Amino acid sequence: MAGSTFGTIFKITTWGESHGKGVGVVVDGCPAGLSLDEADIQKFLDRRKPGQSKYATPRKEDDAVEILSGVFEGKTTGTPISLVVFNRNQQSKDYSEIASYYRPGHADYTFDMKYGFRDYRGGGRSSGRETIGRVAAGAIAVKLLNQLGITFTTYTKSIGPITISTENFDAAEIARNPLYMPDVCAAENAQNYLDACMAERNSSGGVIECIVSGMPAGIGDTVFEKLDANLAKAIMSIGAVKGFEIGDGFDAAKATGRSNNDAFCLAKDGSVTKTTNHAGGILGGMSDGSDIILRASVKPTPSIAATQQTVNKSGEETEVSIKGRHDPVIVPRAVVVVEAMAAITITDALFANMSARMDSIEKFYR
Amino acid sequence: MAGSTFGTIFKITTWGESHGKGVGVVVDGCPAGLSLDEADIQKFLDRRKPGQSKYATPRKEDDAVEILSGVFEGKTTGTPISLVVFNRNQQSKDYSEIASYYRPGHADYTFDMKYGFRDYRGGGRSSGRETIGRVAAGAIAVKLLNQLGITFTTYTKSIGPITISTENFDAAEIARNPLYMPDVCAAENAQNYLDACMAERNSSGGVIECIVSGMPAGIGDTVFEKLDANLAKAIMSIGAVKGFEIGDGFDAAKATGRSNNDAFCLAKDGSVTKTTNHAGGILGGMSDGSDIILRASVKPTPSIAATQQTVNKSGEETEVSIKGRHDPVIVPRAVVVVEAMAAITITDALFANMSARMDSIEKFYR
Amino acid sequence: MAGSTFGTIFKITTWGESHGKGVGVVVDGCPAGLSLDEADIQKFLDRRKPGQSKYATPRKEDDAVEILSGVFEGKTTGTPISLVVFNRNQQSKDYSEIASYYRPGHADYTFDMKYGFRDYRGGGRSSGRETIGRVAAGAIAVKLLNQLGITFTTYTKSIGPITISTENFDAAEIARNPLYMPDVCAAENAQNYLDACMAERNSSGGVIECIVSGMPAGIGDTVFEKLDANLAKAIMSIGAVKGFEIGDGFDAAKATGRSNNDAFCLAKDGSVTKTTNHAGGILGGMSDGSDIILRASVKPTPSIAATQQTVNKSGEETEVSIKGRHDPVIVPRAVVVVEAMAAITITDALFANMSARMDSIEKFYR
Amino acid sequence: MAGSTFGTIFKITTWGESHGKGVGVVVDGCPAGLSLDEADIQKFLDRRKPGQSKYATPRKEDDAVEILSGVFEGKTTGTPISLVVFNRNQQSKDYSEIASYYRPGHADYTFDMKYGFRDYRGGGRSSGRETIGRVAAGAIAVKLLNQLGITFTTYTKSIGPITISTENFDAAEIARNPLYMPDVCAAENAQNYLDACMAERNSSGGVIECIVSGMPAGIGDTVFEKLDANLAKAIMSIGAVKGFEIGDGFDAAKATGRSNNDAFCLAKDGSVTKTTNHAGGILGGMSDGSDIILRASVKPTPSIAATQQTVNKSGEETEVSIKGRHDPVIVPRAVVVVEAMAAITITDALFANMSARMDSIEKFYR
């Protein structure tokens, strides 16, 4: 099954495993004339780089991106942009034992069931390194969207039981703490919580929130290609994500029509806007011009040092304790992955929308 | 934007608006040789039919399905199956007023922003009638999957604040109450809650849960075409759905690795299984052989009789009170839609999986 | 295999068999705001209608099209346009015998090999009636393209050995003779040739040519989605077409660079043009602003009254003589099918092209 | 427009320009368990390598392929296979002048019209080097198909006016002469013809033929995804190809039903076969079990040393004479490209076909 391509017009194809020669992505359908260099992409990759705090694996990886095609004299040419990050820090020995048994919470067993065997080094294609291609492509999408006035604010909303508070929300704080939380108190509490998890050879889950501002209204489709449906697929395709919400999400199920409906009103400039945003910026699958608000639930890192029960490849029950360098929480490093996938999805939707009306098409071509 | 087709190999294309001549679906990629008649499809459509209780709109619609192609002598031929339900009970007058303003919580505004104008009769393409095509196609998918030993149990998990309890769970109860809840007490409480909502000219949301049993392990893909990612898109593409979960969903974000990991163990027959199912039957994007468990958060019906603030097409603020025949809760009628979309997604994944291994391909063709 | 959908943004899905309840098409991705009524479509269907001359099957079919969705108050709404032609003149008895053997030159044998059985009435899904959906969708595409200044001239270039001459070419003649030939002399000779074929219970092939004028330059893509590659697929997907050419086609293989290259020059208005058009309007997969010229080779009608050798379903060799009402030549009725498929392909390419340049996107959205 | 991906289940994505860092391909959907190493791919790339005779450009390029992902311990893993050929022999100076004018027969003008500017070095994305990715992917497809008993014989059928004769046909001769012609006399005549072309600073076109043996019957679809339609797109997407034929191709247009129909008969083993193969192995879009025979018309190399008229970017008419190292004929080096694209198309069709029948699916999954 060909499952490594995402998007229809703005289309990305990722490749690579954790312990192979490298990982990469081909970005096809990027318009010609966008200024782009390796630094634009590197700054996004650096947001997911390991080894930056004690809450992330201490592996030191350069993750230096190289543009192999599609850019000429500092601008995209309209042809596919091939991006690669060669693997440099491969300690295969750390992983050799795991070939023999199925790690709980990992894709080892399902991989064997699907393909008959697997590249067992470091999780292979199911490793978090697979997201490098997504983030590299997402950097291009975000740059493109910024030029259209669309911006992203993405952060850790909660770690285990610790959630940011609305009162303390400070976007400037996101880049200041290793957990990417926009609330200095919550970030401190979450660090204490993670210290306790680590002491117990345990790990934690959390929630990532992404806010997209500056969206034009009317983007997305009314049936299967609803903007929120495509965002859901994009976000749920990130490893370890177990839930997706738009706007009030699961709280909407408990609400009533009176409390959940957003009233339309007029902004000072006379344009149509809403008094509230329970809908999270999407009505009937199309953007309504308000901020798009989405959330992802990320499960705890399955690789824990504590002893666990499992089955080995000889079909015997056994006990395991996962060694090696693992993140006690995936959430902070996944923040940029969520932003990348949201940006890729929105770029594709904007391009698809350009032929929605006959009058726009006539204006474009005549 | 062409957004009315879903699926890659088992592919459905829906068409039709609430007050046009009819609604329908073309199912392409259905294998030849499946026994199929109109009764197989009708029984699914009857599960979403309005007018069956006071908690659903009192409109009486026959919703009688007709097979126009793709079936010969009682069996599918492998060619596209065209299914149509002609609209019979069209009271256009009920809806004429809504052409002039934007209903809160509806797609009126976003439709106008996207296309410049809209078919304002009964919501047009954004109406719940659009799901008839999905359900008709889903009936085929469920029948096909049943022949492979895969079965579905889908029900209302909660209405507003009323949730079923694990202790009272009784699948046989689902068909017995108008809310499709597998818990006789919760169903009674929920009906009381809905009565109160209706008295206040208000509406309620709820949660739908779907359990898929009998899945072979290894179905789905490891990156963008993860089975749970495609299920998320399928379910989020249903109107009014604002959140999606697989397994523990948002609870996984609060959990730790120790509590969230499912230990592998051996079943009595020596096969690999798990002691728990926090993962909801999917690991690394592929089915693990356990039950797939998914949930959808459904927002309250936006059409309420209570007075609401909005804006009209002349750009003036105004007040509206939605008249007409509306469901006080969408959840029960959407249960079969969730099941249909899940079945369509799983059928497509099963077909895509057939070429995953060289040894299977050689066995198939030599 | 889902093989009944064509196109990426402007997307059509056809359904129906020759002797089922009807045939139809869903056109998805048509922009909102195009004026459209049934007469627009009917005039295209009438060009492929049988029974109009002795060179076409004497079956009298109304082939009256009905619009079921996607049009409101005389304009497309942007939602899927469902078109249907119900079958009225079904003489199943004519075809019942053919269930038992494989007609030479038909898809009977390959259908059985693929699906295990087939709808044997009138060729089922392989019947020429399948093209009704294509022509109905093509009528919409042509209308849309005409509004952008793009026009089509499509005709029979040759019947068997009789070819039109450049000197006699008269586009006005196309609609005047039953063979749709733009050369009154060739049309007369071809009719004599066909009379002789019919007398021998034989049939004839021919060539269809389509000229597309008014194309903007730069439409199409440089690699797999070359405009000529997509036109080739579109045209070769029409039953009975065995060859496709763009510009000089197979004559280019015999040419030299000096004779085949088209020199660029300046038109009177200072725009870039070419002194010749061996390329047929496409360079490197993209339109160059000259007329697009394409040709399809159509094989002789395989259904002939003459005795032929074949094999029956019991695996015995046998002789057959195809009875029933068959066209002695398919070419004239296929002219409009070629035009339809070309128009659908070009519409899709124009829509895809709208996001090719960053400056156009910024202009569109800011 | 995303136009660098081809295929649905077996899917390839190419990237790279002639004078960038390299060219490559990502092959997605290749089944797990196929033995594969770099030598398997290199031998296909060597068939298109320049500098092997005086009839090909004297550039010496290693074109050494590297596998970056998707292969573990000598076998494909089911994950994307990333293949790269880094560019080593880049003489940018040769091409610098061409930035200023539009070369006749090239994509310079159409590129500028589409994207506003272009990578003018060596043709950029429109260069023949783009086919390296196709050939590398095709090597995998051919290896896979060989294991299913499907084999390819591909060769130069004609160069300019010189065509191979049926009597002299000798497949063993293909690898022995630099023109890949299966006829020793024709090969000698063609070399003389090319010598004369080169003396006149001219170039020649030709025809490539590909025969696919061992195909199972029933592969392909009946409507848009006809096997011959997809082969047409695959072959026409190769630069310089101007025509495509299946079986008798354009000769079928001159034939009659009696001469063109292939009679069915029984083979000695009792299986159904045909007495002739005018159809080229495909009936109604599906393989009929006979050899698939297809042809591509290749135009003369547009880069010729002779003086030609054109227009420069300042909008002035000018004369040019293309310098640099160019093939006097593209045909021999394109032989392996045709084979590669045919193999990729057929692999995809075989995979899609696996879910055509309910009985096969039940056997696969129960």
Give per-residue pLDDT as tens, B162-200: 999 999 999 999 999 999 999 999 999 999 999 999 999
**Whether A202 and B258 lie within 8 Å, measured CB to CB:** yes
- Residue C290 touches chain D, beta carbons under 8 Å: no
**Among candidate residues B227, B28, B230, D13, the one with its CA nearest the CA of residue C28:** B28
With an 8 Å Cβ cutoff, are B117 and C81 in contact?
no
CB contact under 8 A, C232 and D228: no
Tens digits of residue pLDDT in D251-285: 999 999 999 999 999 999 999 999 999 999 999 99
User: How far apart (Å, rounded) are the C-alpha atoms in residues D327 and D55?
Assistant: 6
Residue C274 DSSP code: E
Is D243 within 8 Å of chain C by CB? yes
Token duo for residue D157: 């059928």
Q: Are the beta carbons of A114 and B275 separated by less than 8 Å?
A: no
The three-state secondary structure class of B293 is strand
Cβ contacts of A223 on chain B, cutoff 8 Å: 3-4, 14, 125, 130, 237
Q: For residues C69 and B56, give the distance between their C-alpha atoms in angstroms, rounded to a whole number.
A: 26
- Chain B residue with CA closest to C78: the answer is B115
The boundaries of the domain holding residue B189 are: 5-365
B163 shares contact with chain A (CB less than 8 Å): no
How many domains are there within chain B? 1
pLDDT band with cut points at 50, 70 and 90 for residue B91:
low
C110 contacts D272? CB cut-off 8 A: no
Q: What is the pLDDT of residues A6-19, one digit of tens each?
A: 999 999 999 999 88
Q: Are A235 and A241 in contact (CB under 8 A)?
A: yes
Confidence category of residue B99, pLDDT binned at 50, 70, 90:
confident
| pLDDT higher than threshold 60 for residue D11 | yes
Q: How many CB pairs under 8 A join A and B?
A: 411
Q: What is d(CA C187, CA C175) in angstroms, rounded to the nearest whole number?
A: 11
Residue A354 contacts C where some CB pair is shorter than 8 Å: yes
- Residue of D77, D86, D347, D354 to mutate when probing chain A, most A C-beta within 10 A: D77
A111 touches chain B (CB under 8 A): yes
For residue C266, how many C-alpha atoms fall within 13 Å in the half-sphere facing its CB?
11
Number of continuous H segments (helices) and E segments (strands) in chain B: 8, 18
Neighbours of B309 (CB within 10 A): 15
Cβ within 8 Å of residue B163, ≥6 positions away:
B157, B186, B207
Handedness of CA A326, A330, A332, A333 (dihedral sign): positive
Tell me the per-residue pLDDT of A62-105, one tens digit each, with 9 for 90 and over: 789 999 999 999 999 999 999 999 988 655 555 667 788 999 99
Does the distance separating the beta carbons of D262 and C105 come in below 8 Å?
yes
C333 in D contact zone (CB under 8 Å) = no
Q: What per-residue confidence (pLDDT) applies to A304? A: 92
**Best mutation site among A6, A27, A68 for testing chain D: the one with the most D CBs within 10 Å?**
A68
Q: Which residue has the tokens 């957990």?
A: A179
Q: Both tokens of residue D136?
A: 């590398």
B208 - beta bridge partners? B156, B296
DSSP state of B227: H
Tokens read off for A208:
């990532």
Q: Which residue of A lies nearest to C35 if distances are taken between CA atoms? A: A358
Chain B residues close to D365, C-beta within 8 Å: 148-149, 216, 350
pLDDT at residue C361 above 60?
yes
Q: CB-based contact (8 Å) between A38 and chain D?
A: no
For residue C116, the one-letter residue type is G
C31 close to A (CB below 8 A): yes
- Which are the contacts of C142, defined by CB distance < 8 A and separation ≥ 6? C44, C152, C339, C340, C343
The enclosing domain of B166 has a CATH number of 3.60.150.10
Instruction: Cite the DSSP H helix spans in chain B.
Output: 38-47, 108-115, 131-147, 184-199, 227-236, 257-260, 331-352, 358-365
Q: How far apart are CA B362 and CA A125, in angstroms?
A: 25
Distance of CA C254 to the CA centre of its chain: 28
What is the per-residue pLDDT for D1?
Answer: 66
Q: pLDDT tens, A121-147?
A: 877 898 899 999 999 999 999 999 999
**C127: nearest Cα among C232, C219, C20:** C20
Answer for the pair C92, C82: CB distance below 8 angstroms, yes or no. no
Query: What average pLDDT does range A247-266 have in this prediction?
Result: 97
Q: Which residues in chain C have their CB less than 8 angstroms from residue D25's CB? A: none
User: Which distant-in-sequence residues (6+ apart) come within 8 Å of B158 by Cβ?
Assistant: A253, A254, B164, B186, B190, B206, B207
A181, A224, A278, A292, best to mutate vs chain B, most B CBs in 10 Å: A224
Q: How confident is the model at residue A61 (pLDDT cuts 50, 70, 90)?
A: low
Nearest CA in chain C to B69: C16
Coil, strand or helix: which one is C124? Answer: helix
For residue D198, the tally of other CB atoms under 10 A from its CB is 17
Question: B9 contacts in A (CB within 8 Å)?
Answer: none
pLDDT value, residue C90: 58
Token pair belonging to C347? 């519409």
pLDDT tens-digit series, residues B279-331: 999 999 999 999 999 999 999 999 999 999 999 988 899 999 887 767 899 99
Q: Which two tokens stand for residue B271?
A: 């096969």
Q: Does residue C61 surpass a pLDDT of 80? A: no
Tens of pLDDT along C203-226?
999 999 999 999 999 999 999 999
Please indicate whether, in this complex, the C-beta atoms of B13 and C22 are within 8 angstroms of each other: no
Among partner residues B33, B352, B365, which is closest to D9 by beta-carbon distance?
B352
pLDDT greater than 90 at residue C76? yes
Instruction: Answer yes or no: pTM beyond 0.95.
Output: yes
Residue D335 has pLDDT above 60, yes or no: yes
- A-chain CB neighbours of C352 within 8 Å are 9
Residue contact B147–D355, C-beta within 8 A: no
Element (H, E) at C342: helix C331-352
Q: Which of A105, A236, A256 sits opposite B300 (nearest CB)?
A: A256
Token digits for D311? Answer: 């227009």
**Average pLDDT of the residues of chain A:** 93
Cα distance from A126 to chain C (closest Cα, Å)? 29
The answer to whether the CB of C189 falls within 8 A of the CB of C258 is no
Q: Which of the listed ranges A302-316, B204-218, D37-51 does the model predict with the highest average pLDDT? A: B204-218
Q: What is the pLDDT of residues A263-307, one digit of tens each?
A: 999 999 999 999 999 999 999 999 999 999 999 999 999 999 999
Tell me the C-alpha distance between C174 and C155, whole Å: 7
Which pLDDT band, with edges at 50, 70 and 90, does C26 fall under?
very high
Q: Is B151 on the interface with C (CB under 8 A)?
A: no
Closest CA to A29 of D287, C269, C224, B84: C224
The pLDDT-based confidence of B50 (bands split at 50, 70, 90) is: low
pLDDT surpassing 90 at residue C91? no
- Cβ contacts of B25 within 8 Å, gap of 6 or more: B12, B13, B14, B15, B82, B83, B132, B133, B134, B136, B137
Q: Which of C147, C149, C355 sits opposite A31 (nearest CB)?
A: C355
What are the strands, taking DSSP E only, across A214-343? 241-246, 264-266, 272-274, 282-283, 286-287, 292-298, 308-311, 317-320
C224 touches chain A (CB under 8 A): no
CA distance A73 to chain B (A): 32
Q: At residue A112, does pLDDT exceed 60?
A: yes
Residue in B closest to D147 by C-alpha: B362
CB contact under 8 A, C1 and D207: no
Q: Chain C interface, mutation test: which of B27, B73, B82, B92, most C Cβ atoms within 10 Å? A: B82
* Residues in CB range of B92: below 8 A, 6 or more apart: B19, B121, B122
Contact D350 B362 (CB under 8 A): no
The CA distance from C309 to C317, in Å, is 7
Contact (Cβ atoms closer than 8 angstroms) between residue A105 and residue B261: yes
Taking the Cβ of residue D351 and every Cβ of chain B, the question of whether any pair is shorter than 8 Å is answered with yes
Task: Enumerate the residues of chain B whose CB falls inside 8 A of the CB of residue D354.
Answer: 351, 354-355, 361, 364
* Closest CA–CA distance from residue B360 to any residue of chain D (Å): 9
Nearest CA in chain C to B351: C1
Say how far apart CA A245 and CA A281 lie, in whole Å: 12
Identity at D225, one-letter amino acid code: E
Q: From the list D222, D365, D366, which residue is nearest B79 (CB)?
A: D222
Q: Chains with ≥3 Cβ pairs under 8 A against D?
A: A, B, C
Minimum distance, in Å, between the CA of residue A32 and any CA atom of chain C: 5
Chain C CB contacts of D304 under 8 Å are 257-258, 261
Bigger pLDDT: A346 vs B121: A346
Contact B354 D356 (CB under 8 A): no
